[in-house]
Amino acid sequence: MLRITDARTGHPVPAAPARRGLTRVEVHAPTDGTGALRVLLVADVLVRALELDGTPVWTLLTGDHGRAELRAAAVALGIRPFEDSGGGAAGLGGAQALHVAPAGAEVPDGVLVEVADVDAQDAVPLEGAGPDPAALRLALLSERRDVPVRLDAAALGEAGDVLGRWRRTVADWARLPSRPVPEALRVRLRAAWEDDLDVPEVLHVLREVEDDPDLPPGARFETYAYADRFLGLELTREIGTHA
């Protein structure tokens, strides 16, 4: 079961009702900027983790609805669209509410999921890092959500290199017979993202899988594909593109 730290109390709480009732995820992002993108990205992986656990989710973006640039940048990073909050949130008052917001923001009652800021050393285009916006997604996922992310050309370059290598390797693994995800790896991955969205631990597991010579390529492929349901990095995108 996914547990998330409530910033109001500092204690972990279940992110979904005990009977898998509807969970409402409300995003309180600034109007623009890389920090706003990080808030939306944390909300996106939160929704992915809930859905992987079989929890129905209703997602809402509060505040100024005229933020076309931010929405376009979110789509480029693979962040699924959020509905405008409008006045509909009150219609499902019985749903558990998770509020995803920058650290220090004031939000309505409910579990508060705080997101630390981004220390952008260089200008970062909202549409992403260079030709592949997923590199920016990976760079923003490199730290736990409560730790500030230092974002500069070196961090983006490293994320792009890792992403490119993983995609090429996954495409190579896909050409060999498939094997199931080893149960021990499946348990470790779920334990990581269900522990307050510990994305860095998920990435650590993938690095171990990449370097494990005793793991069959087909099992490595399935492990990466399984983890990517949470990460949203399109790790299987290059399958079939190499001779």
Please state, as a whole number, how many other Cβ atoms lie within 10 Å of the Cβ of residue 92: 12
The residue assigned the tokens 């899988």 is 209
Percent of the chain past pLDDT 70, that is, above it, reads 88
CB-based contact 153:211 (threshold 8 Å): no
Position 108 in a domain:
yes
Position 76 in a domain:
yes
Position 191 in a domain:
no
Of 163 and 19, the one with more pLDDT:
163
Taking only the tens place, the pLDDT of each residue in 179-195 is 999 999 999 999 999 99
Give the chain's domain count: 1
Position 192 in a domain:
no
Position 150 in a domain:
no
Position 86 in a domain:
yes
Position 115 in a domain:
yes
Of 230 and 75, the one with more pLDDT:
230
Position 74 in a domain:
yes
Side by side, the strands of the sheet bearing 111-115 are 83-84, 57-61, 23-27, 96-102, 111-115
Rg (CA), the chain: 18
Taking only the tens place, the pLDDT of each residue in 69-126 is 888 888 889 999 888 875 444 445 556 899 999 998 888 888 999 999 998 766 555 5
Two tokens, residue 194: 């269900």
Output the domain CATH number for residue 21: 3.40.50
C-alpha to C-alpha distance for 97 and 86, rounded to whole angstroms: 16
Half-sphere exposure of 71 (CA within 13 A, CB side): 13
Domain that holds residue 84: 3-120
